[in-house]
A = this chain, B = another copy of it.
Amino acid sequence: MVDETALFSLTYGLYLIGSKDGDKNVGCVVNTLQQVTNDPLQVSVTLNKENATTAAIQKSGRFTAAVLAETAPMLQIGTFGFYSSKDRDKFENYKTLFDAAEHPYVAEQVVARLSARVVNQLDVGTHIIFVGEVEEAERLLSEKPMTYAYYHEVKGGKTPPKASSYIAQQ
């Protein structure tokens, strides 16, 4: 017996992932960032294979992550979650800074940010788990981080179809 709604009780944050496709800034929003080891400091992020950001990370071998603050507006989340970087520059309306590898990250309504170099990846079907060694990490704001539960329950946010946790007709 599998009640898929049991999975709704798993806890996540909300993160803007950034990468570079040639000269183009690409990015998306995910709930799947986590720390996997401390020594060396490594994080994982799980992304849909159809995302433009996934293809960019595979080419550049790097990604950034920005931890959204609870105060982040829905428009900012929606810009990164419900459009494709193929069609628009998602960063253009937000304060964007660049790491040492010239990969972009949003520095607005963001509690902390990190940059990682991909050292491993695992194909899990519709998605890929990227494991990256953290090369830069910085706190930016002392706001509370946005949780996925807060996004759904307080902000009334939806889950995009390409998300790991998407369930049809939810």
Interface residues of A (CB under 8 A from B): 1-7, 9-14, 31-44, 46, 67, 111-114, 120, 122, 124-127, 129, 131, 134-139, 145, 147-148, 163-167
Contact = CB atoms under 8 A, between A and B. Distances in A.
A120 B124 contact: yes
Contacts of A112: 6-7, 9
B34 A46 contact: yes
A141 B128 CA distance: 32
A131 to B, nearest CB: 5
Contacts of A113: 6
17 contacts: A2-B134, A5-B139, A6-B67, A6-B112, A7-B35, A7-B134, A9-B139, A10-B34, A10-B67, A10-B145, A11-B13, A11-B148, A12-B13, A35-B165, A37-B46, A122-B129, A129-B131
Contact of A137 (B4, B126, B131): B4
Given A2-B134, A10-B145, A136-B1, A125 B164 contact: no
Contacts of A145: 9-11
Contacts of A122: 120, 122, 129, 131
Contacts of A46: 34, 36-37, 44
A124 B122 CA distance: 11
B40 A12 contact: no
Nearest to A128: B36
Given A145-B10, A147-B147, A41 B164 contact: no
A124 B131 contact: yes
Given A11-B12, A36-B129, A145-B11, A138 B6 contact: yes
